[in-house]
Structure 1
Amino acid sequence: MVEDTPPGSALNIEVIKRSPMLAALHEGAMDRHSLEQRLGISKSTVHRNTNSLAEQGLIERSDGEYQLTKFGEAVAEVVATFEADMRTTVRLAPLFEAISAVQPGCSVEAFSDATVTTATDGDPFAPLARFVSLVQETETLRMFDSYAVAPTYMDEIHGQVLDGLETKVIERPDIALDIMENYPRKCVELCASEFLTMRVHDTLPFGIGIFDSKIGVGIRDRESGSPRAFIDTETREAREWAETLFESYWNEATQLDRFHPKALREAIDSDA
């Protein structure tokens, strides 16, 4: 038994197939030659597409130009919204897996206007550069799992912290130890400055950076551990989520009073 085609399915297929032409005509009426040039298609393809769209009641021809009908305009609006949503979804792909299993949850819509900076072969340090640019604009900084955000942040923000950048950091013990062993002098200076407070936590799901006006999520590459993307936004929903998440981990984390390996081991042992 052959099932009936669902109502509207033929139109849905037509809209998807002809969406570039709908998008072009959504900007204004065009003649055949203009459509050929705009879409990079042949005369016969224009003829076939316009006939098909006209049969669906989406376009009409007047004075040698094709234009959307009222129905066509409404459909074109839906297509434009769908394509924008798809672009946002693809752009935020690194974020989905990272935040999906974390409580409290946060809707992806909170990041719909986010700036997404990804690491590429041509610019593997792009996420770090974005983080640094935001640090330069803020007077306070809270973050956890800094290596997912900025693996060389001690080099990048050392001077700002000494100049009074109020900073709270939660690190995994192994990362804290790595920082202490690679930047012993800077750790002593930062400890003496009283502007940096560090705590350690065994399980951090991804990187978070909370600035005066924006928040950012740093995501590592699973295999290499290096920063994969930094996604920042200034929406209220994202900020409230990031602050709640940070406070939750901060309250669970172990305080470090001194920034050297012995103090770290003592803190871990006392918390065990």
Structure 2
Amino acid sequence: MGRGVETRELLRAVLERQPLFELLESNSASLAEVQAELDVSRSTAHRVVKQFESAGLISYQEGRYELTPLGYMVAEEIRGATKTVAVAQRLSPLLPTLSEEAEPFDFTAFADSEVATPEAGDPYRPIRRLILKINQVTALQELSPTIPEPAYLQSLFDRVQDELCASVVFSRWVVNRLQKSDKVALEEAISTGSLDVRIDDPVGFRLIIADDCVYLIGYNDDASRLRLVVDAHSADAYDWANTYFRKRWDEATPYEEEYEDAIQ
């Protein structure tokens, strides 16, 4: 049997017995404690620890089992991979567009995020959370491939008249539509100096950074229907989002350059 096959079988066994490794990461354990953690017979518990002992992942010292340095490393890698896969499953509608971006996406940063999806008869439920958030924050950064919902857009325009400072990157198509439908409100908001708009090629998802909260919003292929809103509060999520936003912001064209006569 080749080494690659042996390694895959060992990883499969570790994944199957992950509760054992979680137990031993925090402390050593007796055979009885291993048996209770795995909820198996004593003979099965003994066979399991012997398997990992022979693989060099577990050692037996003074009547108790503990992880070896190799065991700690394998346990950490398995835990990280499990978390990444779990996050990827929750964010699956966003994966096609995230995978196309040059900035690597940090899945683990969104491990504790909340995911909201439209409900039958209430397709804008996730967006109402965003509107509530906008009415509370003082700083906002946004990348949007589509025209924001009317209620969201109105809240944005109203809040920059007050104490919100916002930096927004819209696609050229979105700005052209706003020029037709909300030109006066848009340019009044920009004229306050608290709304800075730039124009760039559209991204495949919507990103909003509201103070230290990060929102990823996924749409269908033509960005006409909302599919999910991801709400993350970790420092790592903020760092990833801020880095990605600043890169797109620096590449975008200021609104005033695109529409030289728009702002007087």
Counterpart in 2 of 1:16? 15
**Residue 63 (structure 1) shift:** 5.2
Unaligned ranges ≥5, structure 1: 259-272
The TM-score, its normalising length taken from structure 1, stands at 0.65
CA distance in 2, matches of 1:64, 1:139: 58
**Residue 220 (structure 1) shift:** 1.3
Q: How many residues align?
A: 247
CA distance in 1, matches of 2:238, 2:259: 29
Task: Flag the 1:86–1:154 CA change in 2: closer, same or farther, 3 A.
Answer: same
Map 1:38-77 onto structure 2 (within 5 A): 38-62=37-61, 64-77=63-76
Task: Flag the 1:145–1:257 CA change in 2: closer, same or farther, 3 A.
Answer: farther
When Rg is computed on C-alpha atoms for both structures, the one with the higher figure is 1
What is the CA RMSD across the aligned residues, in angstroms? 4.2
Unaligned ranges ≥5, structure 2: none
Q: Contact conserved, 2:215 with 2:229, CA < 8 A, in 1?
A: no
CA distance in 1, matches of 2:54, 2:91: 37
CA distance in 2, matches of 1:43, 1:82: 30
CA distance in 1, matches of 2:64, 2:20: 13
2:237 aligned with 1:241, yes or no? no
Task: Flag the 1:222–1:78 CA change in 2: closer, same or farther, 3 A.
Answer: same
Q: Contact conserved, 1:117 with 1:126, CA < 8 A, in 2?
A: no
Task: Flag the 1:134–1:230 CA change in 2: closer, same or farther, 3 A.
Answer: farther
Seq. identity, %: 21
CA distance in 1, matches of 2:12, 2:185: 64
**Residue 97 (structure 1) shift:** 1.9
CA distance in 2, matches of 1:255, 1:38: 66
**Residue 251 (structure 1) shift:** 5.2
**Residue 41 (structure 1) shift:** 3.6
**Residue 21 (structure 1) shift:** 1.5
Counterpart in 2 of 1:144? 144
Counterpart in 1 of 2:3? 6
CA distance in 1, matches of 2:260, 2:151: 20
Name whichever of 240-249 and 134-143 sits farther off: 134-143
Counterpart in 2 of 1:133? 133
The TM-score, its normalising length taken from structure 2, stands at 0.66
Task: Flag the 1:189–1:76 CA change in 2: closer, same or farther, 3 A.
Answer: closer
Counterpart in 2 of 1:263? none
- SS across alignment from 1:205: coil
- SS across alignment from 1:30: coil
**Residue 163 (structure 1) shift:** 1.0
Q: Contact conserved, 1:57 with 1:72, CA < 8 A, in 2?
A: yes
**Residue 246 (structure 1) shift:** 3.3
Name whichever of 18-27 and 30-39 sits farther off: 30-39
**Residue 135 (structure 1) shift:** 6.5
